[in-house]
Structure 1
Amino acid sequence: MKNLILGICLMIGVKAFSQTSYEKAMTEKIAIVEQRKTPDEFTALANDFKRIGDKEKTQWLPYYYAAFATIQKGRTLMREGKTEELDLTAAEAQKYLNLAMQLNKDSAENLILQKMIHSLKMMVNPQQRFMSEGMLAAEALSKAEKIDAENPRITLMRAEDTYYTPEQFGGSKSKGLELFQKALDQYTVYQPKTKLDPNWGKSEAEYFLAKKP
């Protein structure tokens, strides 16, 4: 009986240690996501998250962050004018996101990333792809809103789209700024489910509002 109790205690201790190790690794990597700047830095970070996911097997967040880091790589490439690399980057992000979705279905956070992936693909050729990738991006965001209407990252995505879309196609910088303000207001009250859950985007809303005339 003593041996049985000791064995159970050791198993519990190993499990607790493993969970603590996982949370520590994730916390360290999540802390630097928004500090990365270059495509190579985002690639390295995505690989780090993938390694954590492959080790844990049942956790969706490592793959989510691997997808997010890859999307951020794509957005960096887009700002650098390297649109010819966006399809390949979007495909890589989709691979990670599919793994996250398998482990956590009907997640608003995953759907927000799905929207971002479609938007990356659209930017390869906006005129040709708006009716395909643009519509899929809007659909993913609408699905996310039905699940978690007060999620500030949904408002942030709408703010970006409104701000950058030309006025002749329904965009508006002033309305975009209003949405950035709404997102910022939501960030003050929105609480992630756990300390590892997504909590990014506030600094982007602040950046655009700081530019407001």
Structure 2
Amino acid sequence: MVRLVTILAVLVSSVIFGQEGNKFEQGMGKAFGIWKEGKSTEASLLFERIASAEKTQWLPDYYVALINCTDAFNPANREKANALLEKAQSSLDNAKTKSDTNSEICVLQALIYTAILVQDPMTNSMKYSPLVMQEYQKALVLNPNNPRAVFGQADFQLSGAKWTGVATKPLCAEINRSLELFANFKPESPFHPKWGLDRAKQVATTCQ
């Protein structure tokens, strides 16, 4: 009898957890679909709702941060860029509480710092340039083969090369190396970060 009760409990738990997993996957899939349609605000709100329901999942918070950070780079959003970046940082901070040693989160933190820097380069570059490089280096320590970290660090240095005087040939080699890493990259799930290849290809074609 005890064994029967135990088996039933395991079966019920499996069904419940399976339903929860399916709900998470369905929600994430729907949010990605909305984002792909160009509805970034709606996608961000849905990812945020998923994050509120999934207390241990870092990915929904990550995508709220990524969407808002990406929108902040858009010149059309200049007037609301600060609000977008505050939202991005707040969401990434939430992701960090759920996954505190994560190469992808470090890459996104570097991207947020870059977005802050470009809002006012003259004022912000001295403070944020070292922070950007620090985050990329942390990302590479955690995962030396993260293509977004390899590309992001080289791309950031390239963008400032005309002011810093850094040699661009080694940076272009890193851009090309990132293409190889992108080609061999296998995300842990359909929802784990896999963005960046198109931008890396674009930079590689003009890199000298």
Corresponding residue of 1:43: 41
Q: Deviations over 1:42-98 (max 9, x none)?
A: 222111111111111111111111111111111223xx4x54433222111001001
Root-mean-square deviation (CA, aligned residues, Å) is: 2.5
Corresponding residue of 2:13: 11
Q: Deviations over 1:110-159 (max 9, x none)?
A: 11111111111111211211111222111111111111111000122123
Corresponding residue of 2:57: 59
Corresponding residue of 2:160: 165
Number of aligned residue pairs: give it.
Answer: 206
Aligned match for 2:81, one of 71, 82, 86: 86
Structure-to-structure mapping, 1:178-189, within 5 angstroms = 178-189=173-184
Alpha-carbon distance, 1:188 to partner: 1.3
| Deviation larger for 8-17 or 169-178 | 169-178
Alpha-carbon distance, 1:25 to partner: 2.4
Tell me the TM-score normalized by structure 2. 0.86
Alpha-carbon distance, 1:206 to partner: 2.1
Alpha-carbon distance, 1:180 to partner: 2.7
Indicate the SS of the match to 1:106.
Answer: coil
Alpha-carbon distance, 1:164 to partner: 2.2
What percent of counterpart residues are identical? Answer: 22
Indicate the SS of the match to 2:57.
Answer: coil
Counterpart check, 1:135 vs 2:135: no
Corresponding residue of 1:121: 116
Partners in 2 of 1:71 and 1:207 — Cα distance? 20
Tell me which amino acid in the other structure corresponds to 1:118: Y
Corresponding residue of 2:26: 24
Partners in 1 of 2:128 and 2:37 — Cα distance? 27
Tell me the TM-score normalized by structure 1. 0.84
2:140–2:150 CA contact under 8 A, matched in 1: no
| Deviation larger for 46-55 or 159-168 | 159-168
Counterpart check, 1:205 vs 2:200: yes
1:163–1:175 CA contact under 8 A, matched in 2: no
Partners in 2 of 1:36 and 1:76 — Cα distance? 17
Tell me which amino acid in the other structure corresponds to 1:15: F
Alpha-carbon distance, 1:20 to partner: 1.9
2:147–2:185 CA contact under 8 A, matched in 1: yes
Tell me which amino acid in the other structure corresponds to 2:26: K
1:111–1:144 CA contact under 8 A, matched in 2: yes
Flag the 1:15–1:32 CA change in 2: closer, same or farther, 3 A: same
Flag the 1:83–1:169 CA change in 2: closer, same or farther, 3 A: farther
Flag the 1:118–1:188 CA change in 2: closer, same or farther, 3 A: same
Partners in 1 of 2:163 and 2:95 — Cα distance? 37
